[in-house]
Amino acid sequence: MKRINAEVFKAMLKSGAANLSNNQREIDALNVFPVPDGDTGTNMTMTFDNGYKEAMAVYTASVSDVAKALSKGLLMGARGNSGVITSQIFRGFYQAIDGKKEIDVKDVALAFENGSAVAYKAIMKPVEGTILTVIREASWYAANELKGKPKMNMEEYFSVLVQYANTSLASTPDLLPALKETGVVDSGGCGLVKILEGFLASLKGEDITVRDQGLIELTNAAVMSASEEGFGYCTEFIIRLSPEYNNRKFDENILKNKLASLGESLVLVKDDDIIKVHVHTLKPGDALNAAQRYGEFIKLKIENMQEQHSNLISESSKKSKEHKKYGLITVAAGQGLQELFYELRADVVISGGQTMNPSTENFLEKIDELDNCENIFIFPNNSNIILAAQQACSIVDRKVIVIPTKSIQQGLSAIGMFNPEASVEDNERDLNEIINNMETGSLTYAIKNTSFDGIEVKEGDYIAMTNKQIVSAGKDMFECIKVLLDKMLSAKEDAELLTLICGEDADEEVTKKIIEYVEENSEVELEEITGDQPVYAYLFGLE
C-alpha cells in the first residue's frame, strides 16, 4: 500500500485504540512508584478512545478531516501527562497533513516528525526517557531510513517506525534512573508503542480487536463530564479469607479483574489472610457478591457519592452569580476535602485526583461556568493533572492562570492564602512562592514488590513518601509515619504549621500517636483535617 485514505486511516485508529485498551492494565502496572495511582494506561486509553470516537463520527473521504476530528477529540479528552502529550503528537500530525484527501509515506513521515516537534514545544520542561523521546527518535530514524529507501511502502514504513519505537522504549531506563531502579520502561512511551503497533497490524490486514469489552466499556463510562465524576457508591470492605482459600494460594488477580469490570479507583491489598478493597462502583451489591465467595466480611462501608456530590453542588449553587474579579477552580477527591475547598472560597471543585485525572474538557466546562468572573485561577493539586489544566488555558480566550500545585496540601495552602483584593500578578507570584516553600508527605499502600532508593518494599506494606521520594516502608503504619515526620521536620526547621489530612483509611489510634509525636518532638502548630480522601490514609503539609 502506497497511500492512506480516510477509510484505511479509520481502520488503523480502531486497531490502535484496541491494542492500547488491551494493554491498559499492563501499562498501568509500569508505574515507577508502587502506589495505587499508576494510571498512565487508563489515562491514555480514555484519551485515545475519545479521539477515536470523534474520528469515527466523521463521514468524509478526506483523511485530513478524520485527522482533524481525531486531534480535537484527543485534545478535549486528554487526561494525565501522557494523555496530553499524545494529544499534542496527533495535533502536530494533523497540522502536517491538513487539506490532504489522501497521504503517502512521505506525508506520514513528515506528519510524525511534526507531531514530535509540536509535543516538545507544548511541554515547558521536556524530560527525556519518556513518550517524548520515543516519538522523537522513532519518527527521526524512520524518516531517515525512508530517505535511503524512497520506494518504501506504507507497511514497510510503519514496520520501521514500530521497530525504532520499541528500541527507543527499551532505552528509556538508561535516560531515567527511576525507571532503571524499578526495572520498568516508560509507561507513556509504552502506550504510544501499542498505538503504533495497532496501526501496523491494521495495514497488514491483522486488525486488532478489543479483548475485554467490559474493560473498554468501563473506560468509556469513565469519560464523563466533571459534573458526573464520582457518581455511584464508594464501596470499602475487609474480608478474612476462608480456610479453603487461606490454605492454598489465593489468586487476587481474579478478584481484581472482576472488581475492575464493575468500577474504578480500585485498590486491593492482601495481607496474610486479610483482603482490603476500595472501589467506586454503580453496583456495590455485585462487588460484594464477587468478594464474599472468598470469605467473611470483617468491615463494610458503602457511601452514595451521588448524594454527596449533589449536596456539594447545592451548596455551591447558592453562591451569587454577580460579577466577580476572581473565580477559583480546584481538584479533589473525598467529601471532606471538597467541602473544605468550598469553605476556602473555591467556586468549583472538580472530583478527581490520583486515580481519576480530569480531562482538558472537564476544565473547559468549569471555566465556561464561571462566565461571571474576570480572572480564573486553577489549582490542579496533582503533577499528572497540571498539563491538562494548562492545555485548557491555551484554548480559551480568557484570563486563566494555572498555579502548578502538585498535591492537595499545596492546593489547600495556596487557596487559603489567595488574596481577592490583590492583583492577578501579585497573586500568581505569591502563590507560586508559597507552594515552592512547602514540604509535603503522604502515607499509602504498596501494590507490588520493588526496591526504590535502597528501600525494600513488599506488596501490602505501608509506604511513606515526601516530595515523591519513598522514605520508609513496612507493616507498622505509625513507624513509617515517624520516619516521614522526622525527615520533613529536619528538612524545614523553620516551619510553623503542620497540616495533617486524614483519609478514608486513617486509624484513630494512629492519629492520636501522630499528634502526640509532633507535640513532643517539635514546636510547630498542628492542624488536623478530615479529608476523607481515598488511597492515601494520611497527607502532611509543612509550611
**Sequence spans of domains, the chain:** 3-216, 224-306, 319-436, 440-542
CATH superfamily of the domain spanning 3-216 = DhaL domain (1.25.40.340)
Largest CA distance in the chain: 76
Q: Do the beta carbons of residue 6 and residue 61 sit within 8 Å?
A: yes
What number of CA atoms fall less than 13 Å from residue 317's CA on the CB side?
A: 7
Average pLDDT rounded to a whole number, residues 458-472: 88
Domains 3-216 and 319-436 share a fold: no
pLDDT higher than threshold 90 for residue 260: no
Least confident of 72-81, 451-460, 489-498: 451-460
> Is 519's pLDDT higher than 70?
yes
Average pLDDT over the chain, rounded to an integer = 87
Is the pLDDT confidence value at 235 over 60?
yes
- Are 464 and 441 in contact by the 8 Å Cβ rule? The answer is yes
Please compute the mean of the pLDDT values over residues 196-202 and round it to a whole number.
97
* C-alpha cell at position 260: 475492575
| pLDDT tens track for 372-385 | 999 999 999 999 89
Angle at 542 between CA 541 and CA 543, to 5 degrees: 120
Note the pLDDT of residue 439. 92
pLDDT in tens, 164-189: 999 999 999 999 888 887 788 999 99
Residues 6+ apart with CB under 8 A from 126: 120, 132
> What average pLDDT does range 205-215 have in this prediction?
78
Is a pLDDT exceeding 60 seen at residue 310?
A: no
Long-range pairs for 278-282: beta carbons < 8 A, 24 or more residues apart: 278/234, 278/235, 278/236, 278/504, 278/505, 278/534, 278/535, 279/235, 279/236, 280/230, 280/232, 280/233, 280/234, 280/235, 280/305, 281/232, 281/233, 281/235, 282/231, 282/232, 282/233
Q: Look at residue 423 and tell me whether its pLDDT is greater than 80.
A: yes
Per-residue HEC secondary structure of 169-226 comes to HHHHHHHCHHHHHHCCCCHHHHHHHHHHHHHHHHHCCCCCCCCCHHHHHHHHHHCCCC
Q: How confident is the model at residue 227 (pLDDT cuts 50, 70, 90)?
A: very low
Q: Is the pLDDT of residue 315 over 60?
A: no
507 burial level (CB within 10 Å; 0-12, 13-18, 19+): middle
> Which grid cell sits at 352?
478527581
The predicted model gives 485-508 an average pLDDT of: 91
Give the model's pLDDT for residue 305: 62
> How far apart are the C-alpha atoms of 418 and 408, rounded to whole Å?
15
| Confidence (pLDDT) at 224 | 40
Q: Is residue 400 a contact partner of residue 369, using CB atoms and an 8 Å limit?
A: no
Are 187 and 30 a contacting pair, CB within 8 Å?
A: yes
Predicted confidence (pLDDT) at residue 198 exceeds the cutoff of 90: yes
For 227-237, letters b (16+ CB in 10 Å) and e give bebbbbbbbbb
pLDDT score recorded for residue 223: 41
What is the DSSP code (8-state) at residue 20? H
Which pLDDT does position 74 carry in this prediction?
A: 94
Reported confidence tier of residue 222, pLDDT bands at 50, 70, 90: very low
Residue 414 has pLDDT above 90, yes or no: yes
Q: Which region among 146-150, 177-181, 224-228, 517-521 has the lowest average model confidence (pLDDT)? A: 224-228
**Residue 225 has what pLDDT?**
36
Residue 495, pLDDT > 90, answer no
* Residue 89 binned pLDDT confidence (cut-offs 50, 70, 90): very high
Q: Which residues, 6+ apart, have CB-to-CB distance to 46 below 8 Å?
A: 77, 79, 83, 219, 222, 223, 359
Q: Which three cell numbers stand for residue 314?
A: 447545592
Domain 224-306 carries which CATH code?
3.30.70.980
Q: What is the dihedral angle through the alpha carbons of 130, 133, 134, 136, rounded to the nearest 10 degrees?
A: 150
Predicted pLDDT at 62: 95
pLDDT over 90 at 411, yes or no: yes
- Across the range 115-142, mean pLDDT stands at 94
Q: What is the pLDDT of residues 25-44, one digit of tens each?
A: 888 888 766 665 657 888 89
- Structure confidence at residue 4 (pLDDT): 96
> pLDDT at position 221, please?
44
Superfamily of domain 319-436: Phosphotransferase system, mannose-type IIA component (3.40.50.510)
- Please state, in angstroms and rounded to a whole number, the distance separating the CA atoms of residues 143 and 510: 59
Average pLDDT of the segment spanning 50-58 = 93
pTM of the model as a whole: 0.78
Task: Say which range, 268-272, 346-350, 486-490, has the weakest mean pLDDT.
Answer: 268-272
> 3-state DSSP call for residue 304?
strand
When pLDDT is averaged across residues 431-457 and rounded to a whole number, the result is 87
**Distance of alpha carbon 200 from alpha carbon 108, whole angstroms:** 13
- Measured distance CA(73)–CA(345) in Å, rounded: 32
